[in-house]
A and B are shown apart, each in its own frame.
Chain A
Amino acid sequence: MSLIRAVLALLAKTFAADLGLTLTALAAVGLSSLALRAHILTPGQAPVAVTLGVLAALTIGVARGAKR
């Protein structure tokens, strides 16, 4: 039981320690994907959009962490 608890804690620590950061990063990738499919972004622009979105997610996550 303690091993299962440890595995669950590891998964939570890894992927949900800062749920806000995880969700913002996923949103950046998801929105870029949607924009690419809707031809709002070209395949050449999408990597820039994903990178900027992820960096914004990181900045927000750090700012929230620094305020605690």
Chain B
Amino acid sequence: MEPAKYRMPLSFRPVTSLKTTTMIDTAAFVTTLGASFLASAVEVVEAFTIVLAVAVVRGLRPALLGTLGGLVVLAAAIAVFGPSLANASLPGLRLAIGVLLLVFGLGWLRKAILRAGGALPLHDEQSAFDKEADALRRSADLDAWAADGVAMIAAFKAVLLEGAEVVFIVLALGARPGLLAPAALGAAAACVLVLTIGAAVHRPLSTIPENTLKFAVGSMLSGFGVFWCCEGLGAPWAGADLALPALVALFLTVGLILASWVRARRREVAA
């Protein structure tokens, strides 16, 4: 039996470190889930717009066949690259994933800041839908088989390209022990939600505040990117995974300040 004077004070006993560990795990879980959900929602909305245009102009068959083809190729990509990225433990691999996430996230965040500040036009799902539908109607001069083929390829391309970004985000965010599940769960929830809303309203989801979502996602991916880069460099964060939400909040705050600066600058130039 341990003498009383050497006993660890209650606050330093393992139960406290278990609480801290749980808090850290929860922070990483929630941040990963949220980032994956929002990023996937943005991409699925864009893919849905094109698939809907195909379905409206050429019917459900080419839309579903193209979507299915895209999903099969994506599933194959996950099967090939997933296992090698999941639970990335090599510092070099962590650094590479961090750099990719950082470049990806900064690109989204910069564009969202410039759009919020009025320096770039907002992305318009209705106009993307109209453009795709017009292109498909022009192919109606071809015979029905060829026109369906063009429509199917359009749906396939949209699902593959937007889906590739979802796959990249899920694999990159989940490339850490225990985080693949929340990353996949977030993406799946986004797909179900967007497709359910899309099927119900049966028109482009142009009322979704896409730039606000991109702003949040850009901040999240940039935060994850910086976090992973430092871990890959062998410079661990104080507070471990609790640094993740703090980094996301930092990027969000700086982004909002920059957006208001861009707005003010445009007002000055216009005056």
Contacts and interface: CB of A to CB of B under 8 A. Distances in A.
Contacts of A7: 161
Contacts of B186: none
A36 B110 contact: no
Contacts of A44: 235, 238
Given A10-B164, A62-B258, A33 B233 contact: yes
A2 to B, nearest CB: 8
Most chain A beta-carbon contacts within 10 A, residue among B114, B161, B233:
B233
A19 to B, nearest CB: 10
Contacts of A46: 230, 233, 235
B262 A58 contact: no
B236 A21 contact: no
Interface string A41-68: 1011011001100110111011001101
A21 B107 CA distance: 8
Contacts of B114: 62, 65-66
Interface residues of A, number: 34
A17 interface: yes
Nearest to B237: A47
Contacts of A10: 161, 164-165
Q: How large is the interface on B (under 10, 10 to 19, 20 to 34, 35 or more residues)?
A: 35 or more
Contact of A21 (B106, B120, B251): B106
A61 B237 contact: no
Contact of B110 (A33, A43, A61): A61
B110 A18 contact: yes
B236 to A, nearest CB: 7
Given A18-B110, A26-B103, 16 more contacts: A2-B153, A3-B157, A10-B164, A10-B165, A14-B103, A14-B107, A22-B106, A25-B102, A26-B99, A36-B235, A47-B230, A47-B243, A57-B106, A58-B106, A65-B110, A66-B114
Which 5 pairs of residues, A with B, have the shortest CB-CB distance?
A46-B235, A47-B230, A43-B235, A66-B262, A65-B114
Interface of B: 98-99, 102-104, 106-107, 109-111, 113-114, 117, 119-120, 153, 156-157, 160-161, 164-165, 222, 225-226, 229-230, 233-238, 243, 247, 250-251, 254-255, 258, 261-262, 265-266
23 contacts: A2-B153, A2-B157, A3-B156, A21-B107, A22-B103, A22-B106, A25-B102, A25-B103, A26-B99, A33-B233, A46-B233, A47-B226, A47-B230, A50-B226, A50-B233, A54-B225, A58-B110, A58-B254, A61-B110, A62-B110, A62-B258, A62-B262, A66-B262
